[in-house]
């Protein structure tokens, strides 16, 4: 065991992070989140995960629960510090709610389960299943005796809080049910659906009382007013509707949004209605008159959830940009921003000495970490859009970061300055790589062309019309003499870097190819395809060596270990990483830890770690010894 491994293991033991035996942390344990609640076989988790659902205030106003990709985050509502991460769901958390006495939490997930938790300790009390599809929402009744769940299976289920017994199933919607809410007296529930309707149900009998028609597209969110006399709904038709609960009459239809409205919330006194939209704006209206009060701007992506504080003075919002924002309801001023939640991780790359890990995310910032000590080093800025590619040169001197439809920047890691900057607006870059000697940067683009530039002067060396269809991935051979390209045209092609001439055309895949990788000795090329196979090719002759056909879906990522003996792959929209024996083609093991699609896999050059980036907003560092 190396000194790094011993240090990290001791840290993990001290911090109670053995995932299979240690419960969720108490409120006093608030640091080193990247070393806590780790999936089996991992050294660390970088990132607090994406915000994937709602935010919920505890009824006493002291805590805030956030539904996230890796679990439920609990924040102190006054200090705004993270108190606890509750883990257990195997996929993203969609919704969370406090019981009326704040003793329990209930959560719903894409893993098709409902979980009931002790809200103080994070201990799992009960796991419930029964829905046949993605769980969209779960809420407690105001009297605390029941909770209701909504699912993509088009049904609503009612459950007994105390026993976990399934009481009844409400059927009637013709599409996914997005949200449910109890009336203040707990006698009725209202549901919203992709079928564009709201439906009111009798809790005791399960009978449909009323259907509300008015939205012209999907109905996303629905809530009761505090007195139960009104309903508010948010729709894909860019509107918020205010309804009379008893008559079904539309009292107001609030317009002005440019995109779908994702969420709505009443203030505790029922006088203010807030709505959040995909156009990044929060809007507030005066309920009695329907007058527009103000817009709250600051988020950089969809507003997913809004909730008023119990005293009605403040409003929390959660966005897909990874930020939680606290607003003053009276003035509209932003009081606080918590930006620790992360967005999609598109790409990860190690430096040649394995001491640096670059992370490209769905924002313009590249993060640099020391993977051996798991310490954050610094941020690299200069791109304008989401960074879908990062790469470090073979000499460890240069870093490149690329955005699909914007810019391509090269940084000198010693001086931290931008060495070169290119516009890629005209050709939509899908893949960016640096030659091993750091002298050439190459791009593969939507237009099927490979472009090469000198990294020191920015001079364009050549443009190769490589494929008729878009290029998904390019890769330099370890000696830098050859470049391989993969395309939607189902082929891999290799090219002389010096002349730009084609060497081989590798044919055999029956669908588009997503990823390619060279083995460290340059003798093999691996390709991952939508046809559910990984194929291994002789890099010199172009002949197929073997096909790994044990995948159950399209294969998104592929990577060789430095010794060339192991191959890692992940499925398109798959949350696991599969390890294969290169010589025999046998499946070795499966790494389970991400809760959403894996977008990038890379082995550290020293062979000790695997880094994986995911749409769950995290990077997992895997111990290679445990993984194998």
Model pLDDT for residues 475-503, shown as the tens digit of each residue:
999 999 999 999 999 999 999 999 999 99
Residue 164 lies in a domain: no
Residue 573 lies in a domain: yes
pLDDT at 25: 37
pLDDT at 1: 38
Residue 272 lies in a domain: no
pLDDT at 134: 85
Residue 327 lies in a domain: no
Closest CA to 323 of 343, 341, 301: 341
Residue 603 lies in a domain: yes
Contact present, 274 and 225 (Cβ < 8 Å): no
Residue 16 lies in a domain: no
Residue 83 lies in a domain: no
pLDDT in tens, 601-611: 999 999 999 99
Contact present, 445 and 464 (Cβ < 8 Å): no
Rounded distance, CA 427 to CA 472, Å? 13
Q: Which residues pair with 200 in a beta bridge?
A: 190, 210
Residues of the chain with pLDDT under 50: 1-30
pLDDT in tens, 533-580: 999 999 999 999 999 988 999 999 999 999 999 999 999 989 999 999
Tell me the backbone φ, ψ of residue 197, rounded to 5 degrees: -110, 160
Q: Which residues pair with 82 in a beta bridge?
A: 75
pLDDT at 403: 65
pLDDT at 363: 81
Contact present, 578 and 587 (Cβ < 8 Å): yes
- Domain total for the chain? 1
Contact present, 450 and 486 (Cβ < 8 Å): no
- Residues with Cβ within 8 Å of 131's Cβ and at least 6 positions away in sequence, in order, are 112, 149, 151, 153, 155, 157
Q: C-alpha 473: how far from its chain's center?
A: 22
Residue-range definition of the domain harbouring residue 528: 345-627
Closest CA to 70 of 337, 341, 325, 251: 341
Contact present, 150 and 158 (Cβ < 8 Å): no
Number of neighbours of residue 93 by Cβ within 10 angstroms: 31
Residue 170 lies in a domain: no
Kindly report whether the global pTM for this prediction surpasses the value 0.85: yes
pLDDT at 36: 81
The four Cα atoms 219, 225, 230, 233 give a dihedral, to 10 degrees, of -10
DSSP state at residue 12? H
Give, in degrees to the nearest 5, the angle at Cα 378 between 623 and 319. Answer: 85
pLDDT at 21: 29
> Got the DSSP string for 250-261?
EEEEE---SS-E
Domain with 443 in it: what CATH number? 2.130.10.10
End-to-end distance of the chain based on CA atoms, in angstroms?
A: 15
pLDDT at 3: 35
Rounded distance, CA 323 to CA 317, Å? 8
pLDDT at 340: 82
């Amino acid at each position: 065991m190396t000194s790094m491994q011993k240090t990290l293991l001791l840290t993990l033991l001290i911090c109670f992070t053995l995932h299979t035996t240690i419960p969720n942390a108490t409120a006093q344990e608030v640091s080193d989140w990247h070393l806590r609640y780790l999936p089996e076989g991992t050294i660390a988790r970088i990132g607090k995960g994406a915000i994937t659902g709602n935010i919920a205030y505890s009824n006493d106003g002291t805590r805030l629960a956030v539904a996230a990709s890796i679990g439920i985050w609990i924040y102190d509502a006054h200090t705004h510090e993270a108190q606890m991460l509750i883990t257990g769901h195997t996929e993203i958390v969609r919704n969370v709610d406090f019981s009326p006495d704040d003793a329990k939490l209930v959560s719903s997930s894409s893993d098709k389960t409902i979980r009931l938790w002790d809200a103080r300790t994070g201990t799992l009390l009960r796991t419930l299943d029964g829905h046949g599809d993605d769980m969209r929402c779960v809420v407690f009744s105001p009297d605390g005796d029941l909770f209701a769940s909504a699912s993509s299976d088009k049904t609503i289920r009612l459950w007994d809080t105390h026993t976990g017994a399934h009481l009844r199933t409400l059927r009637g919607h013709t599409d996914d049910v997005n949200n449910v809410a109890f009336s203040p007296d707990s006698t009725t529930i209202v549901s919203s659906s992709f079928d564009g309707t709201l439906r009111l149900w009798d809790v005791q009998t399960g009978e449909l009382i009323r259907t509300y028609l008015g939205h012209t597209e999907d109905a996303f969110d629905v809530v009761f007013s505090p007195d139960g006399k009104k309903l508010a709904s948010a729709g894909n038709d860019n509107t918020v509707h205010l309804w009379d609960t008893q008559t079904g009459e539309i009292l107001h239809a609030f317009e002005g949004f440019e995109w779908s409205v994702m969420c709505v919330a009443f203030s505790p006194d029922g006088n203010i209605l807030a709505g959040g939209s995909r156009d990044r704006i929060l809007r507030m209206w005066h309920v009695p008159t329907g007058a527009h009060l103000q817009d709250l701007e600051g988020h950089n992506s969809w507003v997913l959830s809004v909730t008023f504080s119990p005293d009605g003075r403040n409003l929390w919002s959660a966005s897909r940009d990874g930020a939680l924002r606290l607003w003053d309801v009276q003035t509209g001023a932003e009081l606080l921003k918590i930006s620790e939640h992360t967005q999609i991780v598109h790409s990860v790359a190690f430096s040649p000495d394995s001491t640096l890990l670059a992370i490209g995310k769905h924002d313009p910032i590249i993060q640099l970490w020391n993977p051996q000590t798991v310490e954050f080093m610094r941020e690299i800025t200069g791109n304008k859009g989401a960074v879908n590619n990062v790469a470090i040169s073979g000499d460890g001197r240069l870093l490149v970061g690329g955005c699909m439809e914007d810019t391509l920047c090269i940084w000198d890691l010693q001086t931290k300055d931008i060495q070169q900057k290119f516009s890629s607006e005209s050709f939509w870059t899908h893949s960016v790589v640096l030659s091993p000697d750091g002298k050439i940067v190459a791009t593969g683009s939507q237009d099927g062309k490979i472009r090469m530039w000198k990294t020191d002067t920015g001079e364009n060396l050549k443009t190769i019309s490589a494929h008729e269809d878009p290029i998904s991935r390019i890769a330099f051979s370890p000696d830098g003499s050859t470049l391989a390209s993969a395309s939607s045209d189902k082929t891999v092609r290799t090219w002389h870097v010096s002349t730009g001439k084609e060497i081989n055309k590798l044919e055999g895949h029956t669908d588009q190819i997503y990823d390619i990788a060279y083995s460290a000795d340059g003798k093999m090329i691996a390709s991952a395809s939508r046809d559910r196979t990984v194929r291994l090719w002789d890099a010199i002759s172009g002949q197929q060596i073997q096909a790994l056909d044990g995948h159950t879906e399209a294969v998104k990522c592929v990577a060789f270990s430095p010794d060339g003996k192991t191959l890692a792959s992940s499925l398109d929209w798959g949350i696991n990483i599969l390890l294969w024996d290169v010589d025999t083609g046998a499946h070795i093991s499966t790494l389970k830890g991400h809760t959403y699609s894996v977008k990038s896999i890379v082995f550290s050059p020293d062979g000790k770690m695997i880094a994986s980036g995911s749409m769950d907003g995290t990077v997992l560092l895997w111990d290679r010894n445990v993984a194998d």
